[in-house]
A and B are shown apart, each in its own frame.
Chain A
Amino acid sequence: MLNRLSTYLYRRPRLVLGLLLGPPLLYFVVVYLGSLFALLLNSFYYLEEFTGLVVRQFTLTTYAKLFTPTNLGIFFRTASMALTVTIADAIIAFPLAYYIARFAPKKIKTYLYIAVTIPLWSSYLVRVYAWKLILAKEGIVSWFFNLFGLQFILDKILSIPVIGGSSLSLSPIGMFIAFCYIWLPYMIVPIQTALERVPKSLLEASSDLGANPAQTFRQVLLPLAFPGVVAGSIFTFSLTLGDFIVPQVLGNSRFFIGQAVYTYQGTAGNIPLAAAFTMGPIVIMIVYLLIARKLGAFDAL
């Protein structure tokens, strides 16, 4: 019986393919693409202010609401944060990625790789929480500054308008630190991958031709590692753009995109506006991905 079924299937590879692909494809098309479609649909509905009910009727008024100065400010603020975090992460990630790719002994290398990737999968929320402890007014950072009598430097930093705040744990600076920390592994892995693909002979050739190490680094290694940096930046940029946990936990009253979406759909029940707002990061990411592709980031993934 099983043998006959086996033979029957063996002769029909198309049927087998359909049986294999059917369930996952159905699930993703119905649940995921279906949801994305519902998202798009909702962004063209609107919320009746008096009744507080969603009116399912095509309109562009919800999109029009995005273009108020407050909301444009939210987009600008979030995108600037995402950009700064991306640049900072590239700088912090590079030495570690470079060391793992070129200098780490084989045995240590595996463990270093695991040390970098474990935070990718683990305890995102807990890792945000850690910074609430560290950056609190009475926490470690303040203690450290006090220890050396440098409190005035901290106060000075916190008094900077726009990015300062009452304490590091309630300021854009604090958010910036937490974002850099949380997304760092996403930057390290692609840079390391890109660096590992650079043949050693290329670096030797460069030094044979008279370049000093700094020149080799700047003119040979860095250009070859750049697609890796761009690949990593896709993650750091996209993840910062869509996050609402960090702004909610460490931010002040100035909203970020994720928070706006979270708040509108929650207390206000305004799913259409939340949906329209989400189109912001989607459009920004599409543009970003197109640029990244030009820069060769997809070969480095």
Chain B
Amino acid sequence: MRSRSSNSASPALVLGALGGLIFLHAPIWIIFLYSFTTDEATYTFPLPGFTTKWFGVALQRADLWSALSLSLKVAVVATAAALVLGTLAAAAVYRSNFFGREAISLLLVLPIALPGIVSGIALRSAIGTLDIPFSYWTIVIGHATFCVVTVYNNVLARFRRMQGSLVEASMDLGANSFQTFRHVVLPNIATALVAGGMLAFALSFDEVIVTTFTAGQQSTLPIWIFSQLVRPRDRPVTNVVATIVVLITFLPIFFAQRISASSADTEGETK
């Protein structure tokens, strides 16, 4: 009896892995395909015909533009808040060994670890109990809570990889804390900030569950899509919007993942 070499995968395993990968990605391609359909009322496959006119139609829709601009405005401010709060928390946890350090990490992860509906209804209860009117800021505050953790994780991981001696050398050479931060720490964590920020942006731009509870009558792009999914009125336009959303979020996520993956690689090499 000959045992298989441990360096090559069995055909069954390759097939299973490939199947998993296709299952993970093929549905998105189907959405792209459907954004070119001539079919207005159903989801008929094979597509009865191809057209690009729905992209033009979507561009004319005022409701879409206002939803898109609200989503962008929310994502930008929520990301900015996440960058500041996440970096501060990461710096605090990295620098000192204080009581309750583990609890901080747990607290920051909670908004994405708990079922989305819990955070949503919790914020909704607070808004209701305090009689706060729904506004742009209720959405932003909700989004910032679950965006902080992406920045925090990325920056903390980078801090742990950074050599502490760099900071000490800078101080020894006469730089004060602010100069050290500006010229030594910041360049070191810059790409981690970019990666965390882009993930936070994508997360916020795409979020629907918490937003449903904090938006009131306002419509972000995901809320617009959700209303179309429940009561389809403009199917072809929805297909186009879905395609555009995927494209808008794909690039920042892809680059963020590249940054995290490549810095993890260099880490492996120095060991």
The contact of A262 among B17, B31, B96, B212, by CB within 8 Å, is B212
CA distance A25 to B88 in the complex (A): 10
CA distance A28 to B16 in the complex (A): 42
Residues of A within 8 A of B192 (CB): none
Q: CB within 8 Å of A: which of B10-47?
A: 13-17, 19-21, 23-25, 27-28, 30-31, 34, 42-46
Range of interface residues on B (Cβ < 8 Å): 35 or more
Q: Which 6 A-B residue pairings sit nearest by Cβ, starting from the closest?
A: A242-B115, A95-B16, A6-B176, A96-B20, A130-B27, A99-B17
Q: Are A23 and B85 in contact, CB atoms less than 8 angstroms apart? A: yes
On whether A282 and B118 interact (CB within 8 A), knowing A28-B107, A245-B208, the answer reads: yes
CA distance A268 to B137 in the complex (A): 25
9 chain-A/chain-B pairs, Cβ below 8 angstroms: A24-B108, A35-B126, A39-B126, A125-B222, A130-B242, A143-B46, A243-B116, A243-B117, A271-B124
B110 to A: closest C-beta gap in Å: 7
Residues of B within 8 A of A5 (CB): 178
Q: Are A126 and B225 in contact, CB atoms less than 8 angstroms apart? A: yes
Range of interface residues on A (Cβ < 8 Å): 35 or more
On whether A42 and B128 interact (CB within 8 A), knowing A9-B177, A93-B20, the answer reads: yes
Stretch at the interface among A14-22, A67-75, A156-164, A222-230: A14-22
Stretch at the interface among B49-57, B183-191, B199-207: B199-207
- A-B contact sample (18 more), CB < 8 A, given A35-B122, A140-B45: A5-B178, A17-B95, A39-B121, A103-B8, A114-B261, A123-B245, A125-B245, A129-B31, A131-B27, A132-B43, A184-B24, A188-B20, A242-B116, A245-B209, A258-B117, A271-B124, A271-B128, A278-B121
Cβ of A295 < 8 Å from any Cβ of B? no
Residues of B within 8 A of A244 (CB): 117, 209
Q: Are A238 and B114 in contact, CB atoms less than 8 angstroms apart? A: yes
CA distance A281 to B257 in the complex (A): 31
Residue numbers of A with Cβ under 8 A of B are 2-3, 5-7, 9-10, 13, 16-17, 20-21, 23-25, 27-28, 31-36, 38-39, 41-42, 54, 92-96, 98-100, 102-103, 110, 112-119, 121-134, 136, 138-140, 142-143, 181, 184-185, 188, 200, 203-204, 207, 212-213, 234, 238-239, 241-245, 248-249, 257-258, 261-262, 265, 271, 274-275, 278, 281-282, 285
